[in-house]
């Protein structure tokens, strides 16, 4: 009985340490709760991943120093932390969609951070022109802001179009919320189409679009 109790308490301690490590990436430590997701904690960001649908829902990151940027590697790779098979780079082959980052590679400040942004759990099928033009330009604009945290989300509508062996669902739209150091928030939204524009919307309007709460 004593051995079982020690094992149980140890498991609780490990869980709490893991939760604390992940909590630091959410705006002001306020966790985003989405039923059915698991938190995948990385060096400077966390991804809330829906294991049933093989879909990242939200990424939350702490803004890294602007004068420290790692060289891009393009080392797309699966995530061994998932109990079931991780989505793979090959799921996107001949799909007509880009491997679109949730937390951008250009936000990484170390080689380790850069590699983690290329985990396939940080990717969604994104319309190529949106990914390479409008969304990229918005991300460059965000990097020029005096931010503390950044939250990026993918919005799905089920049943969804899927790609690849792992049936990775295609989001219908995306959003990004920039939490500025002065306490203000700036939100962006775009549909997942080649011809889509990225528009700035109010945080309140964005919140009405979602089925879960973002930190204020």
CA atoms of 37 and 52, how far apart (whole Å): 8
DSSP count for the chain of H helices, then E strands: 5, 11
Task: Write out the catalytic residue numbers.
Answer: 101
- pLDDT score recorded for residue 15: 33
- pLDDT score recorded for residue 58: 98
| Measured CA distances, 77 to 63, 81, 105, 137, 164 (Å) | 23, 12, 14, 25, 15
Q: Give the domain 2-209 fold.
A: Extracellular Endonuclease; Chain A (3.40.570)
- pLDDT score recorded for residue 84: 81
pLDDT in tens, 145-190: 999 999 999 999 999 999 999 999 999 999 999 999 999 999 999 9
Rg of the chain over CA atoms, in angstroms?
Answer: 17
- pTM across the whole model: 0.90
- pLDDT score recorded for residue 11: 35
Give the residue ranges of the chain where pLDDT is below 70.
Answer: 1-20
Minimal CA–CA distance to 131: which of 196, 64, 53?
196
The angle at the Cα of 163, spanning 133 to 106, to the nearest 5 degrees, equals: 35
Domain ranges of the chain: 2-209
């Amino acid at each position: 009985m004593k051995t079982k109790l020690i094992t149980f308490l140890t498991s609780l301690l490990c869980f709490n340490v893991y939760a604390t490590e992940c909590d630091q990436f959410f705006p002001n430590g306020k966790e985003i709760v989405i039923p059915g997701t698991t938190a995948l904690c990385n060096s400077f960001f966390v991804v809330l991943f829906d294991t049933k649908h093989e879909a990242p829902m939200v990424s939350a990151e702490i803004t890294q120093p602007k004068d420290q940027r790692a060289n891009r590697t393009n080392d797309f790779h699966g995530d061994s932390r998932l109990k079931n098979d991780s989505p793979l780079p090959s799921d996107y082959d001949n799909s007509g969609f880009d491997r679109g980052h949730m937390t951008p590679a250009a936000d990484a400040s170390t080689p380790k951070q850069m590699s983690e942004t290329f985990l396939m759990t940080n990717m969604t099928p994104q319309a190529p022109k949106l990914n390479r033009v409008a969304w990229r330009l918005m991300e460059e604009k965000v990097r020029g802001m005096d931010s503390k945290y950044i939250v990026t989300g993918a919005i799905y509508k089920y049943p969804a179009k899927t790609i690849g062996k792992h049936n990775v669902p295609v989001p219908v739209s995306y959003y990004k919320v920039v939490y500025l150091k002065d306490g203000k928030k700036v939100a962006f939204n775009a549909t997942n189409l080649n011809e889509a524009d990225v528009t700035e919307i109010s945080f309140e309007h964005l919140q009405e679009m979602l089925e879960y709460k973002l930190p204020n």
